[in-house]
Structure 1
Amino acid sequence: MIAEPVPSSRTEQGCDIPLLVWRLPEPALAVSSAVVGGGIGPCRWVVNATVPMSYDRDDPDVHLREIAAGLGLTGPGVGLLTGVDVADVVAVDDGEVRLWATVGLSAPVQAAATTAEPEPHAGTVNLVAWVPQQLTGGALVNAVATITEAKTQAIRELGLAATGTATDAVAVLCPPTGPAASYAGPRAPWGRRLADAAFRAVLDGGAANLAGPPSWSDRQDRRTGRPGNG
């Protein structure tokens, strides 16, 4: 089991903005759709960083590497961004699987849109999962698909006609050595656990997100009395 993420923050534009940091004691094998650390490869750290809903940088990879450097993180890692307050992370266990979700649903979309849609805000559903057995390359990709299917199932359960947001990301980590599992579909042992954990985490996190201020920006605006931009 990898350690729990440690809440932290960084200062940008005069604000203390929250983030979560996973510092791995040993390298893991990871698959991710993230802008930093995307693909399959070794991983020493994971960062999930809140950004304002007005976020418009066109170099998020550079931004995330700056954040990682400021935290003293070195080597390969996975970097994620979201418009929600990462302090609201939802963690779920299922067997030996552990999954963390930050769920922002202020800009839900259908993956196959039939009409032109405006450029989305950075709401974002980010999912980070740990599986205690090495997975083959195919099983890692399968795990991402399984988690994504469960995420969509939870979003539909919440009453939204959506498959996610336009900026969702997934990262699945496992040991880099040992006997490897070849499958992670929803009926394979690890896939079933990943699906159950993802469904519960997105359902719980999504319900809380839809019921309260949808973004870190809105919370800041409520504290300061400024009009929201989310």
Structure 2
Amino acid sequence: MLCEPILTSRSEAGWDIPLLVWRAEAPLLAVGSAPLGGGIGVRRWVVNATVPMTYDRDDPAAHLTELARDLDLSGPGVGLLTGVDVTEVVHRSDGGVRVWATVGLGTPVWAAAPAAPAVPAPAHPVGTVNIVVHVPVRLGDAALVNAVATATEAKAQAIWELGLAATGTATDAVTVLCPADGDPAPYGGPRSTWGARLARAVHAAVGDGGAGTVVPWSDRRAG
């Protein structure tokens, strides 16, 4: 079981920066694209940390490892970063599947956008959608990979329904966690038992999280 996230903070560069911490009651099997703990493996915790819009470190995995150490988190875990204030996390559930999303859509993109010359970044690129999913039953390896695809499809559907010509942002991340033992469910697609529930919960979380106006965390604090 993945516990509800705890909101805490850290002092960095003169800011009191919020972060969310999930702890697992027992090691969980995870799959995802996080900069720390991505891939497939057993994980014990998840961190989703806000960073200021002036963030310029090029070693996010090392940075997240430092944060985990400061939080006394032991063993392997998952670390995510975002320019969004993580206190605005949206939680939705469906049939036992639980989803948490921090939604920043300031820099929406099409996944298959044509190649274009580099352009200056916008002044406030609040553009990361981080999704954490807990499924209460063991998923087989193929089902885990399919669950990531299903979550991404549901996210893209929600973004389209919000009126944005986009499938996401360039820095989105998703993590799906489930028990590490038990009889593995073979499917995670949107019409499978658990994939359908996952899709509905992700769709609701991203849609509700993206419905408001998202401003950079640093601007909110400075304002």
TM-score (norm. length: structure 2): 0.95
Q: CA deviation at 1:122?
A: 5.5
SS in 2 for 1:142: helix
Which deviations, in whole Å up to 9, do the C-alpha atoms of 1:77-131 show, x marking residues without a partner?
0000001000000000101100000000011111111242545746200000000
1:207 maps to 2:211? yes
1:123 is matched with which residue: 111, 127, 142? Answer: 127
Aligned to 2:190, the other structure's residue is in SS state: coil
Q: What's 2:40 paired with?
A: 40
Amino acid at match of 1:201: A
Letter in 2 for 1:98: R
Contact preservation (8 Å) 2:126, 2:216: no
CA distance in 2, matches of 1:142, 1:106: 27
5 Å-filtered alignment, 1:20-169, equals 20-116=20-116, 118=119, 121=125, 123-169=127-173
RMSD: 1.2
The separation in 2 between residues aligned to 1:149 and 1:64, in whole angstroms, is 27
AA partner of residue 125 (structure 1): V
State the Cα distance separating 1:156 from its structure 2 match.
Answer: 0.4
1:144-188 per-position Cα deviation (integer Å, ceiling 9, x unaligned): 000000000000000000110100000000000001001000000
Query: Are the aligned partners of 1:49 and 1:80 in contact in 2 as well (CA < 8 Å)?
Result: yes
1:176 matched to 2:180? The reply is yes
Gaps of 5+ in 1: 223-230
Quick one: which amino acid aligns to residue 145 of structure 1? A
The SS at the match of 2:136 is: coil
TM-score (norm 1): 0.92
Match in the other structure for 1:219: 220
Which amino acid is 1:215 matched to?
A: P
Could you tell which deviates more after superposition, 36-45 or 111-120? Answer: 111-120
Secondary structure, in 3 states, of the residue corresponding to 1:79? strand
SS at match of 2:211: helix
Tell me, in whole angstroms, the C-alpha distance in 1 between the residues paired with 2:168 and 2:25.
Answer: 32
Letter in 1 for 2:73: L
Shift of 1:221: 2.1
Could you tell me the percent identity over the aligned residues?
65
Runs (5+) with no aligned partner, structure 2: none
* CA shift for structure 1 position 58: 0.6
Give the AA of the match of 2:36: V
Q: Does 1:13 align with 2:13?
A: yes
